Amino acid sequence: MELIAKGRAGTLESGDVFVTVQPSDRLTINLESPVKDAYGPAILETVDQVLNELGIQKGIIDLADQGALDCTIRARLATALRRASEGGGDDE
């Protein structure tokens, strides 16, 4: 899978995560979360797993976490990546 456009998924509501992805010549992951100190490494591990599963090696991945569960992070990230790879961007 290759990112060809900007893609977004999620919300800034409590218990969710807002994910934005976009093409880049290298991989950059940015995480903002009120629980970053306690759960940041686990969140980043989840992100790495999804990226590996989908074959993503380059792109800018921004996550604004609001205490999302692992399954929510996976779903939102996969959706944003799919949208960015199809060029659909922001459609819901």
Element (H, E) at 19: strand 17-22
DSSP class per residue in 26-51: SEEEEEE-TTHHHHHHHHHHHHHHHH
Pairing outcome for strands 27-32 and 17-22: unpaired
At residue 55, the 3 state secondary structure works out as: coil
Interior angle at CA 84, CA 47 and CA 14, nearest 5: 50
**What is the C-alpha to C-alpha distance for residues 81 and 69, in angstroms, rounded to an integer?**
18
Would you say residue 8 has pLDDT above 70?
yes
pTM: 0.90
Of 7-16, 19-28, 48-57, 82-91, which range is least confident?
A: 82-91
Span 18-51, pLDDT tens digits: 999 999 999 999 999 999 999 999 999 999 999 9
